[in-house]
Amino acid sequence: MRTYILKRLLLIIPTLFFILLINFAVIQIAPGGPVEQAIQQAQSFQGVGLSGGETAQQSSQTQYQGARGLSAEMVEQIKAQYGFDKSAPERFWLMLKGYLSFDFGTSFFKDKPVTQLLYEKMPVTISLGLWSTLLIYLVSIPLGIRKAKQHGLIFDKSTSLLLAVGYAVPSFVFAVLLIVFFAGGSYFQWFPLQGLVSENFAQLSMLDKIKDYFWHMSLPLLSIVLGGFAGLTYLTKYSFMEELNKQYVLAARSKGLTENRVLYGHVFRNAMLIVIAGLPEALVGIFFVGNLFIEIIFNLDGLGLLGFEAIVQRDYPVIFGTLFLFTLLGLILRLISDVLYQVIDPRINFDSRGVK
């Protein structure tokens, strides 16, 4: 197992390199980069009309200069400001050298180091991601197991409608509905509309801080859980149903074992393998994709919102910084998933099977 873990850790390096290289190449050919945006803003500023005591003749000259565009010297200054006075291979090499020391550069538009921005936004995303994942698993696994035990019965059929709604409706739609009904939209004002904590959070006692935190997190977490529990419930149900039909389950029942002993002593370990295998994708999806609209709707300033704003603004250091962080997180979670495979089922040996 140690050899397998070492191989996977070493494979992370070329994987990150090629992902960054591909995205760097794609972004270079995308129109509307930071240099183009800065030139457009400068041209708009030069083309401003009369201001204060400016004469009509002076205004005409100013608009004419703006129409002509910027001078070559000013364009070169803008390129140097954003590092585009260097060739693309040189910029990519400098970026990689910085990444070796976890220096992601400085944001073009926020005038802060990317590492500082990531550090500031991370608590919000971690709060949403960890709590929502925990709640989704606490709801989905027991529900999926019970549906597997009562397949075709009233409980299974009645909960299938709930799962169908949860599977079809995205999280941000649930977020809007919850705001309308419970955050002062049209009916009740039981929960705050936005933010992670109240303005007087620093003056509260420890117990009141905990209450305030979960009060603000209630609607965002409920939105994510309602939009994300259905898929895992189906996965749990059908993985258990597949195991329940196997010969070893029939043999265990024939020995007189109770249903709970069969289910949790034999079936659970095998059926949970596929659920654990999907954990890395679930975590990355919830942390980045699933939280994006939730952070926007509830005004939660996290990594998802930061990455979205960076893409809109073509803030390349922030784009590559968030991409690097989420890619590294996904690769590590996949490795942890494989290790848990062997912990749950010692019969699985990656080294003896030559898995790379």
Q: Could you report the per-residue pLDDT of 144-161, keeping only the tens digit for each? A: 888 888 888 888 888 888
Q: Is the pLDDT of residue 139 over 50?
A: yes
Q: Can you name the residues that pair with 113 across neighbouring β-strands?
A: 106
Contacts of 58 (CB under 8 A, 6+ apart): none
Q: Can you name the residues that pair with 234 across neighbouring β-strands?
A: none
Which of helix, strand or coil describes residue 66? helix
b (16+ CB within 10 A) / e for 235-270: bbbbbbbebbeeeebeebeeeeeeeeebbeebbeeb
pTM: 0.71
Q: pLDDT class for 51, splitting at 50, 70, 90?
A: very low
Q: Could you read off the pLDDT of 236-258 as tens digits, one per residue?
A: 888 888 887 788 877 877 777 77
Helix segments in the chain, DSSP class H: 2-29, 34-46, 56-68, 72-81, 88-100, 114-149, 154-168, 171-182, 206-244, 247-254, 259-262, 268-277, 279-284, 291-297, 303-313, 316-344, 350-353
CA distances for 343 relative to 127, 274, 331, 336, 340, angstroms:
27, 14, 19, 10, 5
pLDDT value at residue 58: 44
pLDDT value at residue 55: 46
Q: Could you read off the pLDDT of 331-344 as tens digits, one per residue?
A: 887 787 777 767 66
CA distance 86 to 72: 16
DSSP state, residue 121:
H
Residue tagged 């039909």 (tokens): 245
CA distance 297 to 175: 7
Q: What is the largest CA-CA distance in the chain?
A: 101
With contact defined as beta carbons under 8 Å apart, do 36 and 313 qualify?
Answer: no
205: left (phi over 0), alpha (psi -120 to 50) or beta: beta
Q: Could you read off the pLDDT of 52-103 as tens digits, one per residue?
A: 444 444 444 443 344 345 566 666 666 665 666 677 788 888 888 888 888 8
Q: pLDDT class for 176, splitting at 50, 70, 90?
A: confident
Nearest CA among 241, 29, 232 for reference residue 134:
232
Nearest CA among 34, 84, 105, 43 for reference residue 320:
105
The amino acid occupying position 22 is I
185, 187, 189, 195 alpha-carbon torsion, rounded to 10°: -20
Which of helix, strand or coil describes residue 261? helix
Domain boundaries, the chain: 32-86, 114-353
**CB-CB neighbours of 205 under 10 Å:** 8
With contact defined as beta carbons under 8 Å apart, do 2 and 342 qualify?
Answer: no
Percent share of the chain, pLDDT over 90: 0
With contact defined as beta carbons under 8 Å apart, do 299 and 194 qualify?
Answer: yes
Q: Could you read off the pLDDT of 276-317 as tens digits, one per residue?
A: 766 766 676 666 566 777 887 887 888 877 877 888 777 888
Class of domain 114-353: mainly alpha
Classify the C-alpha dihedral 185-191-197-200 as positive or negative.
positive
pLDDT (average), residues 7-35: 78
Contacts of 122 (CB under 8 A, 6+ apart): 302, 303
With contact defined as beta carbons under 8 Å apart, do 307 and 25 qualify?
Answer: no
pLDDT value at residue 90: 82
